[in-house]
Amino acid sequence: MGSNNGSSICLDLSIGTLQFSNSCMKQHNKINKLPLIHGSTKMEEKLIYNSQIEAEMVDEMNRVVAENRRLSTMLAAISERHRALRAQVLEIMNSTSSSSSTKPAAKRRNVEGSLAYLEAVNASYKVNCSKEEVGETRPRISRMYIRSDGLVVRDGYHWRKYGQKVIRDNPYPRAYFRCSFAPVCPVKKKVQRCTEDHSVLVVTYEGEHNHVQPLPGDSLNCLR
DNA sequence: CGAGTTTGACCCGCGC
DNA sequence: GCGCGGGTCAAACTCG
């Protein structure tokens, strides 16, 4: 597979609101620095300038609306590409799992696990980016939702369960896992059923693995 | 027999 | 200060 396969997304978001407020400030300054025009009162001059400002503000607003439309179109295109990539992944996983497993249920688990892994990577990437921007040093936390029968989430890493707890307002217990490379690897994860949809697992990853995955391609092997 | 899981006890932070 | 709830510990247990 190509490195990014056209999936790297660069949103050149030039937010209009900031520019908008800046232009308002400029206009405001203009009014205060008005030179006195001979034969007209300062009040009349202000009115003339106010109408000019109004026209410029309408232009600015139109520009922002156009920008908004452009971004919406981009978002739709990105969503479409995401769907296509997801379909490709499913197809690949189906072809690889069919050679290793003949049971349909096992095949489905494989596919779901692989998607879970991909979503985990995606989610942690998103969280990492936002944290780095803010400059935080707290352990990186990412959350994902997976449709699964059991409490087992195949994400390519090897976990050891160290606790289970019944949580308030949720009839299903929360399971606590540590990376089996602990204490070298500080990563933990919590797995819990969603209260609204019991077939959905809420998986919370805490921290970042400081090692490679246990075995090359183990993310697929673990999916059995 | 070793590695992993279960489960009750304990710890600790937070809100009142 | 106290109680509650989430998180962790560790001994007992299970399984391959």
Q: What pLDDT tens digit does each residue of chain A (224 aa) get? A: 433 333 333 333 333 333 333 443 344 444 444 444 445 566 676 676 677 777 777 777 777 677 777 767 766 766 666 666 666 656 655 554 444 433 444 444 444 444 554 454 455 444 444 444 444 445 567 777 877 766 667 677 888 888 888 888 778 888 899 888 766 778 888 888 887 777 788 888 887 777 766 554 443 333 33
Q: How many Å from the CA of A14 to C1' of B11? A: 49
Nucleotide nearest A161 (Cα, C1'): B5
Which residue matches tokens 């990539």? A85
Q: How many Å from the CA of A121 to C1' of C3? A: 40
Measured between alpha carbons, how far apart are the two ends of chain A, in Å?
23
> What is the pLDDT at residue A171?
80
Contact A223, A113 (CB under 8 A): yes
Q: How many Å from the CA of A161 to C1' of C14? A: 14
> What is the pLDDT at residue A195?
75
Nucleotide nearest A174 (Cα, C1'): C6
> What is the pLDDT at residue A31?
40
Contact A219, A154 (CB under 8 A): yes
> What is the pLDDT at residue A193?
83
Q: How many Å from the CA of A146 to C1' of B12? A: 31
Q: In degrees rounded to 5, what are phi and psi of residue A159?
A: -115, 150
> What is the pLDDT at residue A186?
80
Residue A162 CB lies within 7 Å of the nucleic strand B: yes
> What is the pLDDT at residue A89?
58
> What is the pLDDT at residue A1?
40
| Burial tier of A142 (Cβ tally within 10 Å: 0-12, 13-18, 19+) | buried
pTM higher than 0.85, yes or no? Answer: no
> Sign of dihedral through CA atoms A150, A153, A158, A159?
negative
Q: How far apart are alpha carbons A60 and A69 in whole angstroms?
A: 14
